[in-house]
Amino acid sequence: MLVNTAGNVSRLGIPKYEWWSEALHGISYTGPGVKFNNIVPHATSFPQPILTSASFNETLFETIGKVVSTEGRAMYNVGQAGLTYWSPNVNIYRDPRWGRGQETAGEDPTLSSKYGVAYVKGLQQRDDGKKDMLKVASCCKHYTAYDIDDWKGIQRYNFNAKVTQQDLDDTFNPPFKSCVLDGNVASVMCSYNQVNGKPTCGDYDLLAGVIRGQWKLNGYIVTDCDSLNEMYWAQHYTKTPEETAALSLNAGLDLNCGSWLGKYTQGAVNQGLVNESVIDRAVSNNFATLMRLGFFDGNPKNQIYGNLGPKDVCTEDHQELAREAARQGIVLLKNTAGSLPLSPKSIKSLAVIGPNANLAYTMVGSYEGSPCKYTTPLDGLGASVSTVYQQGCDIACATAQVDNAKKVAAAADAVVLVMGSDQTIERESKDRFNITLPGQQSLLVTEVASVSKGPVILVIMSGGGMDVKFAVDNPKVTSILWVGFPGEAGGAALADVVFGYYNPSGRLPMTWYPQSYVDKVDMTNMNMRADPKTGFPGRSYRFYKGPTVFNFGDGLSYTQYKHHLVKAPKFVSIPLEEGHACRSTKCKSIDAANEQGCNNLGFDIHLKVQNVGKMRGSHTVLLFTSPPSIHNAPQKHLLDFQKIHLTPQSEGVVKFNLDVCKHLSVVDEVGNRKVALGLHVLHIGDLKHSLTLRI
């Protein structure tokens, strides 16, 4: 009962159960809990989370979760899937080379937290309102400071992440904390790596201390798969297998993905290394989770969701949502006047070129299932206009077929180049060295653009950012779109944007760095904050001060929006009790956790948004602050975000409700949250508003 492939106990009528199922962006065949066969051959494949997060749409995040859990329940009812899904991945996309960045919601802790909470709620919350029961059980992973897979021979299995307490509490841990406190997630998975010399799955302070103690997890803690094996064999952290088992159980672990606890727990008990009461705790947490899922309630067909079956997987609505999610995430990064959107009526021939133009499998990324159906970029674009296709080269693009590509491009009214990467370039167990387009892809783009007579649209299909400065600077490349790994309907969504059936509103969830950044920065340096002494430039828009190709939050539209601040205070005062030290001496900050004056102290920001263009669209409103420069605070930090949909020449009001102690606080050097006194500058688009926080 301590391992993922849990055996049955016939004496008690307990059936066997496989804990390991995955649902990162749809029901996945990664993990033995899910089977695709003639009973259920396919499931809806949504975009990789990095693209979904670019929508900055919390409702969308939760709606996808709801659909995925419905398909999971439907498959469970016919014996094809489990009820415990080890998703989402809420790690921070710290370095552009990381192969698993595609699985995350990007580099920002606020966005990652909101994504994680919404997806967890979508997976877990039942329609009958029973808060203690679960539709399926979600799991936030990989706790914590995990974002190196295999870089220059340094592997995740024995990497020691040296992290400051400030970075841990300010960057790496907030999404996990939100998962537990706000999402009520049923599980947290500990990671392979060490943090400051201790394996996370054997660290009492991180597991029993923080997840169970401070955050009060209602659920189970699980290892990443074979973590205990790596702790013993790769990290040589423990002297015996039994000691490894005892260390993890005593640290607060409940379930082992792998067989280690099945083999060595009895020996650990015999040797007096672990008390039976600790095993009782672990089994209880695991069984309580199964109880909340209704696992012991008899025939699932007689329970809530018992009517679901194969007919409820890959429904028209679900497939349409996959297309809508991709549309909402796609980011327009460059658009010269007269380029996009293309008019299907005036384009007599469209050249579609590139290694990702007609590859279905690339679109679904990693942790994929078997999609309902595929629409490639070539399929999608070809549904509206007549197309001529040239692959140009494969994804590695060792030798580009430049002449053939130029021939079709020169004869066409417009060109769409679909370039980028795939799982051979960036994935789990494979980090990148270069963040440029692979091989001769950039040569192919430049050569094709040089002979084209109409618009040239560069489409980048990738998980990570790419240094495409050459294309940004080239006037012949008239538009650039980033489409992530857009899921089963990616080609249809791309066509919707290209032809203006849909107005793009996606924003980048991560910084796009130049190649010079990765040439200079060691991937194993976990620090977020810049260090002028060593020349370390920092990481993410919150701390990085150097040149970028594109910035976090970048994204264009086919229309124009104007912002006008309707309501925002210039001063906010914190009431302090008589005799407070900061009444008599000048303080730069006050403790956010212990101040009575902090409770329920809030204010509103009201913003009028006008669509002053000719096309209806959704607008993403990002609210940032630049706090006072104390405690090495971020230079800029995302507080909240909202979407507003506006028809041409209409306006609406977006309202943000801010909590002083939550939103205007920073994490100090030892991990404590402090309310920063002094000048805070709020940013919304090109608007800035100064607000002074005083006592």
Element (H, E) at 657: strand 651-659
Cα–Cα nearest to 75, from 30, 121, 126, 21: 21
What residues contact 254, with CB distance under 8 A and at least 6 apart?
Answer: 2, 220, 221, 222, 281, 282, 283, 285, 286
What residues contact 532, with CB distance under 8 A and at least 6 apart?
Answer: none
Compute the distance between CA of residue 489 and CA of residue 690 in angstroms, rounded to an integer: 44
How would you write 89-119 as a 3-class SS string?
A: ECCCCCCCCCCCHHHCCCCCHHHHHHHHHHH
* Residue 662 Ramachandran class (φ > 0 left, ψ -120 to 50 alpha, else beta): alpha
Positive/negative CA dihedral, 442, 448, 452, 455:
negative
Compute the distance between CA of residue 442 and CA of residue 445 in angstroms, rounded to an integer: 5
Say which DSSP state 156 is in.
Answer: T
Neighbours of 373 (CB within 10 A): 13
Compute the distance between CA of residue 592 and CA of residue 62 in angstroms, rounded to an integer: 30
Strand bridging mode 198-199 / 194-195: antiparallel
Q: Would you say 402 and 122 are in contact if contact means Cβ atoms under 8 Å apart?
A: no
Tokens 């008599």 found at? 584
Compute the distance between CA of residue 529 and CA of residue 669 in angstroms, rounded to an integer: 11
What would the two tokens of residue 548 be? 């970028």
Say which DSSP state 319 is in.
Answer: H
What residues contact 593, with CB distance under 8 A and at least 6 apart?
Answer: 672, 673
Cα–Cα nearest to 107, from 432, 423, 421, 552: 552
State the amino acid at position 582 in one-letter form. C
Compute the distance between CA of residue 223 and CA of residue 215 in angstroms, rounded to an integer: 18
Tokens 């710290």 found at? 94
Compute the distance between CA of residue 695 and CA of residue 591 in angstroms, rounded to an integer: 13
Burial classification of residue 202, based on how many CB atoms lie within 10 Å of its CB (0-12 exposed, 13-18 middle, 19 or more buried): buried
Cα–Cα nearest to 634, from 678, 603, 680: 680
Kindly provide the residue ranges of all beta strands, DSSP E only, lying in 263-315, ordered along the sequence. Answer: none
Kindly provide the residue ranges of all beta strands, DSSP E only, lying in 250-373, ordered along the sequence. Answer: 331-335, 350-353
What would the two tokens of residue 242 be? 């039994």
What is the distance, to the nearest Å, from the Cα of residue 593 to the centroid of all Cα atoms in its chain? 28
Active site residues: 224
